[in-house]
Amino acid sequence: MRGVFIKPVSGVEGEIRVPGDKSISHRAALLGGMAHGETHVSNFLLGQDCLSTLRCLKQLGVHWERQGTEVWIRGEGMEAWQEPSDVLDAGNSGTTSRLMLGVLAGSPFAVTLTGDASLRSRPMRRVTDPLKQMGARIMGRQDGNMFPLTMSGGQLQGQVFRTAVASAQVKSAIILAGLRASGETKVEEPALSRDHTERMLRGFGIEVLSDKTIVRVHGGGRLVGQDVSVPGDISSAAFFLILGSLVGRGELILPNVGVNPTRTGILDALRTMGADIEVLEVSEICGEPRATLRVRPARLKGIEIGGDMIPRLIDEIPILAVAACLAEGETVIRDAAELRVKETDRIRTVAEGLAALGAKIEELPDGLRIQGQPYLRGGQASSLGDHRLAMAWAIAGMLSKEGVSVEDMEAADVSYPDFLTVIEKVAQ
Ligand code: S3P
């Protein structure tokens, strides 16, 4: 339970290479394990969540080696996967769990999956119900809604699904199961969620048809090992976009940040608020666009967001709430009830955490209402084991009057192990 005092800063300066994208790292490891031939992943995220995916793959008999942020996966196809001799532990990782359930739904053996206390309280029915409809057998707590769950896969049948929530984890689980099902599998979401699975599958040689919020795949395709270069994670960059916008002076440069349009809601929201962010040197590698971002201080004003924008910035809402506390006027975030089933109930934990630091913030059933103020006082806040809260509180501390003492700061290791070192390096 490491507590760290984060003191206020008056400026920032420097270049920050944010670590690899969490969503893309998970997918590179999984698809590499499913493919035939070698997959080489560079800039793999060494966060705890992605290491959980690698560990689970090893238990399933997939051979891989890692040196720093480079991973080599010796893909022998899913036929070579073996029944694990112990429970698979997804740790804190929703993505490992949901995607792994999808991949394993078509395997002829039994697997039990579990995770930490947070993951064991998160809903899995959104994935297990469709997988059961496709033919998987799943048993566990609350009739298959909560970890630990035991799945014994088998012969799957392609189906048509309309999901209740825009969730890339749900969509991906269904698509991945669909690759091993007979016939076609179709998923329609209420709004477009991140599309990394679709893009990467195409890179691995699978035909994926997508039209706005509809995705279709055919079973029986063969994945071929690839080189995957993972862009920097825009969800990690977001902390610096807000720090660089609201600090007194200086400039931050963030090279090689993923700017897939299904993830850039935070850029759109901050620019609407008045942020000075430039998107430079855009290129596309391995089907994923990336760019250098440059941020300079600006006066921000409040914003109203909701609807289709929410899935495009869902993970950035804790740090966006920090920005809203220091923007002029009111910010209202709606249609974001999904936040209640993230690593913590992020509507409640963000509202309570920021209120304790002096913010004027109100919890709504599906979002937050925040009144901007000229400054945040600071004080004490706990990550409650949630990585994005740990980092949001640290940035709030840098932008506050008195600093913030962050309890359980090590939760940041889930997606950004070097976070503290980096903020110390750029602080002036
Ligand atoms: C993720 C999807 C998002 C996001 C999570 C990672 C993914 O969740 O919040 O951090 O890698 O697919 P949803 O499944 O709710 O979209």
Task: Identify the pLDDT of residue 162.
Answer: 98
Amino acid of residue 6: I
Cα distances (Å, whole numbers) of residue 100 to 72, 88, 108, 202: 19, 10, 14, 19
- 95, 122, 260, 341: which to mutate for ligand 1, most atoms within 8 A of CB? 95
| Mean pLDDT, all residues of the chain | 97
- Which ligand 1 atom is at minimum distance from the Cα of 315? 9
The angle at the Cα of 159, spanning 154 to 161, to the nearest 5 degrees, equals 125
3-class DSSP assignment, residue 151: strand
Identical topology for domains 3-20+231-426 and 22-229: yes
Could you report the per-residue pLDDT of 297-318, keeping only the tens digit for each? 999 999 999 999 999 999 999 9
Amino acid of residue 418: D
Place of tokens 């935070």: 266
For 156, the token pair is 């799957």
* Fold designation for 22-229: UDP-n-acetylglucosamine1-carboxyvinyl-transferase; Chain (3.65.10)
For 360, the token pair is 């004027």
For 101, the token pair is 């359930």
Q: Does domain 3-20+231-426 have CATH number 3.30.499.10?
A: no
Could you report the per-residue pLDDT of 394-415, keeping only the tens digit for each? 999 999 999 999 999 999 999 9
Task: For residues 156-169, give the mean pLDDT.
Answer: 98
Q: What is the rounded CA–CA span in Å between residue 141 and residue 126?
A: 14
Ligand 1 centroid to residue 355 C-alpha, Å: 26
- 45, 169, 230, 414: which to mutate for ligand 1, most atoms within 8 A of CB? 169
> Per DSSP, what are the bridge partners of residue 186?
160, 216
Task: For residues 20-27, give the mean pLDDT.
Answer: 98
Instruction: Inform me whether the pLDDT recorded for 1 exceeds 70.
Output: no
Instruction: Inform me whether the pLDDT recorded for 218 exceeds 70.
Output: yes
Length of the chain: 428
Could you report the per-residue pLDDT of 349-359, keeping only the tens digit for each? 999 999 999 99
Atom 3, ligand 1: residue with shortest CA distance? 168
Amino acid of residue 315: D
Q: What is the rounded CA–CA span in Å between residue 118 and residue 96?
A: 14
3-class DSSP assignment, residue 216: strand
Place of tokens 């916008």: 245
Task: Identify the pLDDT of residue 153.
Answer: 81
Task: Identify the pLDDT of residue 275.
Answer: 98
Could you report the per-residue pLDDT of 88-127, keeping only the tens digit for each? 999 999 999 999 999 999 999 999 999 999 999 999 999 9
The DSSP code sequence of 40-51 is: EEES---SHHHH
Task: For residues 38-63, give the mean pLDDT.
Answer: 98
Instruction: Please list the alpha-helical segments (H only) found in 72-228.
Output: 94-104, 125-134, 141-144, 168-178, 196-203
Query: Above pLDDT 70, what percent of the chain?
Result: 100
Element spanning 388, H or E: helix 387-398
Instruction: Inform me whether the pLDDT recorded for 16 exceeds 80.
Output: yes
Cα distances (Å, whole numbers) of residue 349 to 18, 245, 367: 25, 24, 12
Task: Identify the pLDDT of residue 10.
Answer: 96
Q: What is the rounded CA–CA span in Å between residue 398 and residue 381?
A: 13
3-class DSSP assignment, residue 336: coil
Q: What does pTM read for this prediction?
A: 0.98
Q: What is the rounded CA–CA span in Å between residue 54 and residue 70?
A: 12
Instruction: Inform me whether the pLDDT recorded for 2 exceeds 90.
Output: no
Ligand 1 centroid to residue 167 C-alpha, Å: 6
Task: Identify the pLDDT of residue 154.
Answer: 83
Could you report the per-residue pLDDT of 388-397, keeping only the tens digit for each? 999 999 999 9
Domain ranges of the chain: 3-20+231-426, 22-229
